């Protein structure tokens, strides 16, 4: 089904990468995507410590899985970085200049090195650093947004400059959007918002209901949720910004995960998860411009199959 340079590189059947959504992308979600033929991803920070999540994936996942890291947090978490490279198919880095020494470290562990970029210059630097693929992120994306161009314009600028597979990211939530990105020359697509609402996601049920009720017009690109990560643009549901603005307290909730717990500050960077209590809809409910395609909470495998089948049908036509 839709063989591309990405599927050949990663060993997938479907050119879909699930976004490594911080706190939200559970190991069960990554395993479901991988089992359906895509590339499942877990984030650097999740409900359980990294060793526990990697052990669960080793026992339960069948297919290709990767782990995403923030560039600012790699040096302080090299143990997880190296463990992911030894255990998983892909290690991905976001929000920082590509570093050849990190790429060599990933390759030394036996994994593929991906870098998520926002410009053609950054994509070229990632290729020069030895990366195996780049994720070109358009401004339509949910979560933290590094790029300033719409996705198709970014692809036009990036594809002629890099010899490695380019994964298209930003607002892709339907088979037609997937087909458009592949027809433009991308080797795969990266999907976040649809998987945030999937049955295996760790997103809080109120967050999921808000995604189902929203359209792309209900999102906003902002720097409002900057506590913990200042001056980093991100796309969230406008409702979250409005509701946080009506709260006077410095703390809007609490996260309780097993024996770990911490307060959620007003304008905090973390999205609400199943472990979160409090004013959930006043927290960072990340969503891309494709959120209007979220109409329910199916299993992640069904999302992969829906997008791939529709994209294949359109491309063959």
Who's near 72: CB < 8 A, 6+ residues apart? 95, 96
State the average pLDDT over residues 162-176.
Answer: 98
Cβ atoms of residues 11 and 111 within 8 Å = no
Dist. CA 274–CA 208, nearest whole Å:
10
Dist. CA 232–CA 311, nearest whole Å:
32
pLDDT of residue 258: 84
Q: How confident is the model at residue 44 (pLDDT cuts 50, 70, 90)?
A: very high
pLDDT of residue 170: 98
pTM above 0.95, yes or no: yes
State the average pLDDT over residues 1-17.
Answer: 96
| pLDDT beyond 80 at 98 | yes
Element (H, E) at 39: strand 39-43
Query: Mind listing the pLDDT tens digit for each residue in 119-145?
Result: 999 999 999 999 999 999 999 999 999
State the average pLDDT over residues 112-119.
Answer: 98
Dist. CA 219–CA 238, nearest whole Å:
5
Q: How confident is the model at residue 207 (pLDDT cuts 50, 70, 90)?
A: very high
Dist. CA 94–CA 101, nearest whole Å:
15
For residue 25, which of 201, 190, 191, 199 has the smallest C-alpha distance? 201
pLDDT of residue 257: 87
For residue 205, which of 260, 305, 285, 259 has the smallest C-alpha distance? 285
For residue 14, which of 27, 30, 32, 2 has the smallest C-alpha distance? 2
| pLDDT beyond 80 at 1 | no
Q: Cα 152 to chain center, whole Å?
A: 18
Q: How confident is the model at residue 259 (pLDDT cuts 50, 70, 90)?
A: confident
pLDDT of residue 304: 98
pLDDT of residue 147: 87
Cβ atoms of residues 307 and 175 within 8 Å = yes
Instruction: Return the domain boundaries, the chain.
Output: 5-199+295-316, 205-290
Q: Which fold has domain 5-199+295-316?
A: TIM Barrel (3.20.20)
Query: Mind listing the pLDDT tens digit for each residue in 226-258?
Result: 999 999 999 999 999 999 999 999 999 999 988
């Amino acid at each position: 089904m839709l063989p591309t340079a990405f599927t050949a590189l990663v060993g997938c059947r479907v050119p879909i990468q699930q976004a490594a959504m911080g706190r939200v992308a559970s190991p069960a979600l990554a395993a479901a995507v991988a089992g359906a033929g895509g590339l499942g991803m877990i984030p650097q920070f999740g409900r359980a410590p990294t060793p526990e999540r990697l052990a669960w994936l080793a026992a339960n996942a069948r297919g290709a899985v990767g782990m995403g890291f923030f560039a600012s947090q790699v040096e302080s978490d090299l143990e997880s970085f190296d463990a992911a490279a030894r255990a998983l198919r892909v290690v991905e880095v976001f929000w920082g200049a590509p570093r050849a020494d990190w790429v060599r470290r990933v390759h030394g562990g036996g994994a593929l090195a991906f870098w998520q970029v926002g410009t053609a210059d950054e994509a070229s630097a990632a290729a020069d650093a030895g990366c195996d693929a780049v994720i070109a992120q358009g401004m339509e994306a949910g979560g933290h947004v590094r790029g300033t161009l719409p996705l198709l314009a970014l692809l036009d600028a990036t594809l002629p400059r890099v010899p490695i597979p380019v994964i298209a990211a930003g607002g892709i939530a339907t088979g037609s959007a997937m087909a458009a990105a592949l027809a433009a020359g991308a080797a795969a697509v990266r999907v976040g918002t649809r998987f945030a609402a999937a049955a295996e996601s760790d997103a809080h049920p109120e967050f999921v209901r808000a995604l189902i009720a929203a359209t792309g017009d209900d999102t906003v690109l902002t720097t409002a949720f900057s506590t913990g990560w200042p001056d980093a643009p991100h796309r969230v549901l406008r409702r979250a910004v409005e509701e946080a603005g009506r709260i006077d307290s410095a703390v809007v909730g609490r996260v309780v995960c097993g024996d770990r717990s911490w307060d959620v500050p007003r304008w905090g960077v973390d999205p609400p998860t199943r472990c979160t209590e409090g004013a959930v809809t006043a927290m960072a409910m990340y969503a891309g411009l494709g959120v209007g395609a979220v109409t329910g909470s199916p299993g992640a495998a069904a999302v992969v199959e829906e997008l791939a089948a529709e994209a294949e049908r359109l491309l063959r036509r």
